[in-house]
């Protein structure tokens, strides 16, 4: 008998309405199983059973516009969570109920429950030999292919796209248990024509394990940031050592779910990506130079370059056409007008600002400062930044994302060298 818990059913029902007949058939089959019909499925084909002591009910989605207005943040406390070696980035789902931590050295992805702070699932990649890169000595080194770097969620958080540092491509993981089993069955029908990566799903506190293959979609050498268009039709991937950006068309119903349709050359090492769906453009930080490349999303070709200061690493955009950028070597952040390319204002930071993220109301900027072990928070004014917090954060903080409700904001920050996640809580005022 296949065991199906409430989480599986909730996930399934939430997803089934807009999907075609194959999902309707799955729903009928699962309904029959719940009525007690016997199944000949082996244990490995069972749907995941989540650990019992964690509330797996997903929070309802609250849009950013539904949050109550606030104009200030008051620092409250910090909590320290254990992650895995070399955690590189973190990403919340739309509702903020789940956080995904990409563990580069741990070769896995942790799925955290925001409320309980517990790990719900761990997606572990099977390691295969590959070639990595020593960024200090600037030379290739023996390593493993399956090292998660950055990620992006699409299709109502049903697909988690992950860049694998040394595999020259990205992989999709279906976060919904039913969809994961569909992916596994589709992979078996490819008959070896598609390169795949093996994933084992571990449920802490339970002996239950599941495994499936995910397709590796080749993009370029050393893929980093993944971003998507708002309509979930396209992905963009910055390829560090290929000096280009891959554009992929997504097809969630056809394995392997995305294919490269264009490759845009850039002048030097690309990293940060910000998609502006209003103007149909994409902005790419050229970390190896002193520019931001502008891509026209209609034809997927380079349109121009915005000249900026050297070594821009990460970029984000607000809804008013402002680009925010972290300058890694210069230890500063800046606000740039996307239309004119003019730098509007800047502010100094601690050493090596890496990932930046905006609050939901776009009034506050969070910055991880890698080598100096600080997290900094700036209020964004009409004509400048005001630093409101400078918080110690050991272990070389690198990735950050934020959770918000109507009373508080949490900045979840992953530290690379000590394998931890610091949760900084702020009261909204």
pLDDT tens track for 205-264: 999 999 999 999 999 999 999 999 999 999 999 999 999 999 999 999 888 999 999 999
pLDDT at residue number 194:
87
How deeply is 264 buried, as exposed, middle or buried, from its count of CB atoms within 10 A (0-12, 13-18, 19+)?
Answer: buried
pLDDT at residue number 15:
37
pLDDT at residue number 192:
65
- Length, in residues, of the chain: 429
**DSSP percent split of the chain into helix, strand, coil, nearest 5:** 10, 50, 40
Q: How far is CA 263 from CA 91, 150, 240, 243, 260, in A?
A: 26, 19, 13, 10, 8
How deeply is 118 buried, as exposed, middle or buried, from its count of CB atoms within 10 A (0-12, 13-18, 19+)?
Answer: middle
pLDDT at residue number 277:
97
Give the whole-angstrom CA distance, residue 97 versus residue 107: 23
pLDDT at residue number 41:
34
Which contiguous run of DSSP H or E holds residue 82? strand 73-82
Kindly list the domain boundaries of the chain, sorted by start residue: 1-47
Secondary structure (3-state) at 221: coil
CB 391 within 8 A of CB 360: no
Give the whole-angstrom CA distance, residue 199 versus residue 425: 33
Give the whole-angstrom CA distance, residue 196 versus residue 397: 31
pLDDT at residue number 37:
35
pLDDT at residue number 244:
98
Under-50 pLDDT residues of the chain: 1-61
Give the whole-angstrom CA distance, residue 211 versus residue 45: 9
Give the whole-angstrom CA distance, residue 186 versus residue 63: 34
Q: Peptide bond before 256: cis, by omega within 30 degrees of 0?
A: yes
Give the whole-angstrom CA distance, residue 162 versus residue 172: 6
Q: How far is CA 8 from CA 129, 267, 275, in A?
A: 35, 46, 33
């Amino acid at each position: 008998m296949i065991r199906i818990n409430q989480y599986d059913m909730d996930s399934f029902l939430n997803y089934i309405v807009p999907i075609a007949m194959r999902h309707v058939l799955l729903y009928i089959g699962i309904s029959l199983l719940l009525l007690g019909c016997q199944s000949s499925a082996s244990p490995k084909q069972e749907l995941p059973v989540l650990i019992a002591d964690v509330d797996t009910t997903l929070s309802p989605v609250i849009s950013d516009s539904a949050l109550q207005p606030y104009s200030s943040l008051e620092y409250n406390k910090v909590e320290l969570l254990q992650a895995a070696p070399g955690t590189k980035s973190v990403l919340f789902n739309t509702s903020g109920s789940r956080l995904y931590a990409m563990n580069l050295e741990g070769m896995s992805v942790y799925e955290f429950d925001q409320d309980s702070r517990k790990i719900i699932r761990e997606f572990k990649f099977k390691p295969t030999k590959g070639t990595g890169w020593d960024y200090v000595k600037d030379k290739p080194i023996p390593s493993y292919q399956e090292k998660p770097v950055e990620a992006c969620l699409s299709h109502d958080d049903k697909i988690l796209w992950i860049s694998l540092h040394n595999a020259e491509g990205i992989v999709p993981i279906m976060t919904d248990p039913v969809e994961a089993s569909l992916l596994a069955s589709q992979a078996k029908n490819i008959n070896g024509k598609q390169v795949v990566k093996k994933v084992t799903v571990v449920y802490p506190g339970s002996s239950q394990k599941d495994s499936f293959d995910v397709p590796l979609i080749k993009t370029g050498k050393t893929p980093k940031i993944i971003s998507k268009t708002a309509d979930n039709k396209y992905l963009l991937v910055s390829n560090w050592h290929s000096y280009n950006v891959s554009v992929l068309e997504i097809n969630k119903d056809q394995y392997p779910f995305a294919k490269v349709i264009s490759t845009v050359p850039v002048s030097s090492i690309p990293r940060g990506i910000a998609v502006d769906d209003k103007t149909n453009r994409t902005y790419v930080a050229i970390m190896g130079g002193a520019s931001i490349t502008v891509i026209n999303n209609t034809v997927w070709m380079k349109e121009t370059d915005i000249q900026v200061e050297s070594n821009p690493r990460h970029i984000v955009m607000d809804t008013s056409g402002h680009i925010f950028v972290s300058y890694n070597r210069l230890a500063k952040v800046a606000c740039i007008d996307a239309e004119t390319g003019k730098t509007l204002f800047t502010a100094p930071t601690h050493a090596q600002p890496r990932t930046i993220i905006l609050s939901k109301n776009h009034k506050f900027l969070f910055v991880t400062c890698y080598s100096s072990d600080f997290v900094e928070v700036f209020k964004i004014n009409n004509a400048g930044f005001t630093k409101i917090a400078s918080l110690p954060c050991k272990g070389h903080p690198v990735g950050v994302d934020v959770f918000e409700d109507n009373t508080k904001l949490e900045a979840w920050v992953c530290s690379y060298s000590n394998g931890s996640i610091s949760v900084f809580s702020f009261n909204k005022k």
